[in-house]
């Protein structure tokens, strides 16, 4: 789920917006054509009353069309945030945050992104994650505790940067 504002807008980073555009383009240009071909192939078998391939292709078509509508709606409501973390001095969507894990004495870096972009393997965490929720609005030097399945982890913010710094 994306961050929705009171006015219905969905907050996305530029990269997240591009990702949605690419997915929409793929669904419209590639998947629609593939499903239409499946439907035509299934129609060639004749009797539609017991044609499982036809039913499956029609269900896939309905799913793809629903996804296209949802993506178009998200893009229509999207508001792109530029690397706010750089100018506000606070952790926001789009910030790159360097933290010290006070329990393990380790330094880690995370990017706070929308759920569309989230990829923990490259340290991009959704703004909805427990860690990001604890970080949002905080400044350099502040400490916080984050509840995790294994207990509580203590962090200190070392540095806040914009996405491309």
Domain ranges of the chain: 3-80, 83-161
Per-residue pLDDT at 163: 54
Per-residue pLDDT at 1: 38
Per the CB < 8 A criterion, the answer to whether 136 and 92 are in contact is yes
Averaged pLDDT for residues 149-157 = 91
Per-residue pLDDT at 160: 92
Q: Confirm or reject CATH 3.10.20.30 for domain 83-161, answering yes or no.
A: no
DSSP, collapsed to helix, strand or coil, labels residue 36 as helix
Neighbours of 76 (CB within 10 A): 10
Q: Where are the alpha helices (DSSP H) in 4-145?
A: 14-26, 32-43, 52-77, 84-88, 130-135
Per-residue pLDDT at 51: 79
Averaged pLDDT for residues 96-106 = 93
Q: Which of 100, 101, 99, 84 is nearest to 137 (CA)?
A: 84
Q: Confirm or reject CATH 1.10.150.530 for domain 3-80, answering yes or no.
A: no
For the chain, what is the mean pLDDT? 85
């Amino acid at each position: 789920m994306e961050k929705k504002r009171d006015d219905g807008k969905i907050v996305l980073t530029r990269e997240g917006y591009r990702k949605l555009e690419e997915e929409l383009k793929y669904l419209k240009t590639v998947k629609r054509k593939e499903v239409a071909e499946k439907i035509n192939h299934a129609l060639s078998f004749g009797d539609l009353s017991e044609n499982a391939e036809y039913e499956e292709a029609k269900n896939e078509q309905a799913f793809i069309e629903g996804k296209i509508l949802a993506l178009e709606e998200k893009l229509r409501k999207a508001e792109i945030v530029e690397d706010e973390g750089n100018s506000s001095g606070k952790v926001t969507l789009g910030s790159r945050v360097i933290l010290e894990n006070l329990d393990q004495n380790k330094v880690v870096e995370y990017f706070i992104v929308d759920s569309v972009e989230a990829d923990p393997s490259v340290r991009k965490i959704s703004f909805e994650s427990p860690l990001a929720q604890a970080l949002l609005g905080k400044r350099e030097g502040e400490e916080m505790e984050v509840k995790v399945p294994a207990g509580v982890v203590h962090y200190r913010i070392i540095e806040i940067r914009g996405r491309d710094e």
